[in-house]
């Protein structure tokens, strides 16, 4: 039975096609739900049009998926098909609402890039060398690489002031120009931005996949702990 005092974390759903079925299913991967639960939160699915539901939630988790569709989000390169403009637009509304309400938000991979673009930033395609560090030739596999964490950042505080960690990664695009009010807080060895954060809103965005834990206790779990702790503090204010 769920703990009624657990913070409620909204997760925008995405579309999935089931082979042999005409219906399109909306949902999220279990890894996100399990990660939130392990940190003391409960996931609430947010289908398109449910922006008002954010008023009754304690935190927001923006997850991965397709490239961003809008051309003005790209400083170089272009999105790869398939894209989902409806999802982009809906999640952009959630970002604006979360920022206005001060709702703690964690974005990972696409979610981090989306927030950056909503706030006026851009993304770019990684070059061949960069892709080799951040992804894998087999789309079903992921890469593991090191990132450097900036001192005196929210991310450094969340990760117990570590200066370097290993992350699980699978992406071929990266944050380019930063959005208004955002700062970079971690970088890969090729110099690409691996994390962003806001000084006027409890937001963290990371390019890697913290829901894919490499160990039982690790820096990735700390990101979900941070989101739930921020949610609890918000409800207590």
- Which residues sit opposite 148 in a β-bridge? 164, 187
Q: Which of 109, 134, 194, 197 is catalytic?
A: 109
pLDDT surpasses 60 at 47? yes
Assess contact for 28 and 11: CB atoms under 8 A: yes
Lowest mean pLDDT among 1-15, 49-63, 101-115: 1-15
Q: Which of 42, 91, 211, 230 is catalytic?
A: 211
Assess contact for 175 and 126: CB atoms under 8 A: no
Assess contact for 176 and 123: CB atoms under 8 A: yes
The question of whether 134 is a catalytic residue gets the answer: no
The question of whether 161 is a catalytic residue gets the answer: no
Alpha-carbon gap, residue 180 to 201, rounded angstroms: 12
71-75 contacts, C-beta under 8 A, 24 or more apart = 72/122, 73/113, 73/117, 73/122, 73/123, 74/122, 74/123, 74/124, 74/125, 75/122, 75/123, 75/124, 75/176, 75/177
134: number of CA atoms within 13 Å, CB side? 26
The structure's pTM equals 0.89
Tell me which residue of 185, 65, 180, 174 sits closest to 125, measured CA to CA. 174
Q: Looking at residues 33-42, what average pLDDT do you find?
A: 93
Alpha-carbon gap, residue 111 to 91, rounded angstroms: 9
- At 213 the pLDDT is 62
Question: How does DSSP classify residue 170?
Answer: -
pLDDT per position as a tens digit, 156-212: 999 999 999 888 877 688 999 999 999 999 999 888 999 999 989 999 999 988 887
φ, ψ dihedrals at 30, nearest 5°: -60, -30
- At 154 the pLDDT is 97
pLDDT per position as a tens digit, 142-161: 577 889 999 999 999 999 99
The question of whether 236 is a catalytic residue gets the answer: no
Alpha-carbon gap, residue 148 to 194, rounded angstroms: 9
- At 158 the pLDDT is 96
């Amino acid at each position: 039975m769920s703990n009624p005092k657990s913070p409620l974390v909204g997760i925008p759903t995405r579309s999935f096609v089931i082979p042999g079925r005409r219906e399109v299913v909306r949902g999220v991967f279990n890894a996100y739900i399990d990660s939130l639960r392990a940190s003391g939160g409960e996931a609430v699915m947010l289908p398109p049009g449910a922006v008002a539901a954010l008023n009754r939630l304690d935190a927001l988790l923006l997850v991965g998926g397709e490239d961003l569709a809008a051309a003005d989000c790209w400083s170089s390169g272009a999105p790869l098909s398939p894209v989902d403009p409806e999802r982009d637009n809906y999640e952009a509304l959630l970002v604006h609402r979360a920022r206005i309400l001060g709702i703690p938000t964690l974005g990972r991979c696409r979610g981090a890039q989306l927030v950056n673009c909503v706030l006026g930033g851009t993304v770019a395609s990684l070059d061949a060398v960069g892709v080799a560090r951040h992804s894998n030739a087999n789309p079903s596999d992921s890469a593991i690489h090191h990132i450097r964490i900036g001192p005196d950042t929210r991310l450094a505080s969340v990760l117990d002031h570590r200066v370097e960690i290993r992350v699980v990664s699978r992406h071929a695009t990266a944050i380019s120009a930063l959005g208004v009010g955002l700062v970079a807080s971690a970088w890969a060895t090729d110099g690409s931005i691996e994390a962003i954060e806001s000084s006027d809103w409890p937001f963290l965005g990371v390019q890697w996949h913290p829901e894919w834990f490499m160990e039982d206790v690790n820096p990735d779990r700390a990101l979900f702990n941070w989101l739930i702790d921020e949610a609890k503090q918000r409800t207590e204010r």
